[in-house]
A = this chain, B = another copy of it.
């Protein structure tokens, strides 16, 4: 059963200010979100909360009142980007040409990873554990699977491509992104080019090893913390 493009992609609860709070509180909340986005974009999400509070021109307590946990701030700060991803995916699903749709999604998301280091943190590294985020990730996963299947059907995508390979690309691209902006952009483009080229159907090509069980919603904290 095909997924319906979502009607209002930016309805994430985290983004919508709570009704009935005082005007100054609403204002401060907005300033905090903006400060967080700016700070995260630069070097990822490992920024002291105090820095974000200072940039927003509010005290630490205000930050913690609005966003009790680290994850809630991250989730709220990136619900906009999440919406952008969902929109890109919806658009791709509407495209008559599934191959073009898939390339376009991959290109867009890779570019977002380059342009905003916090984006990767929000979706791959940190684990905000926000219900909205989980739901949207699951939706994205399903939409991607559908898009992948269609692209296989049209013969634009190799048959042994696995939806988890999208996650694989995102992780790989994330690894490439920790350089200066210009270098990151060039590196990401080149990585994507290599990847896409192998993804296209090449009948004589050797088959790939087993796909890795990478589901977006399983990716957690920096790594697999043991010890």
Contacts and interface: CB of A to CB of B under 8 A. Distances in A.
A189 B214 CA distance: 13
B172 A227 contact: no
Nearest to A193: B208
A212 interface: yes
A213 B186 contact: yes
Interface in A26-52: 39, 42-44
Contact of A186 (B205, B210, B226, B227): B210
Interface string A199-227: 10010011011111110000100111111
Nearest to A44: B223
A214 B176 CA distance: 10
B198 A195 contact: yes
Given A214-B179, A222-B178, A190 B172 contact: no
A171 B191 CA distance: 10
A208 B226 contact: no
A175 B187 CA distance: 13
A197 interface: yes
Interface in A124-166: 125, 165
A163 to B, nearest CB: 13
A224 B179 contact: yes
Nearest to A165: B190
A44 B117 CA distance: 20
B179 A176 contact: no
Interface centre among A44, A190, A213 (most CB of B within 10 A): A190
Interface of A: 39, 42-44, 117, 125, 165, 168, 171-181, 183-184, 186-187, 189-191, 193-195, 197-199, 202, 205-206, 208-214, 219, 222-227
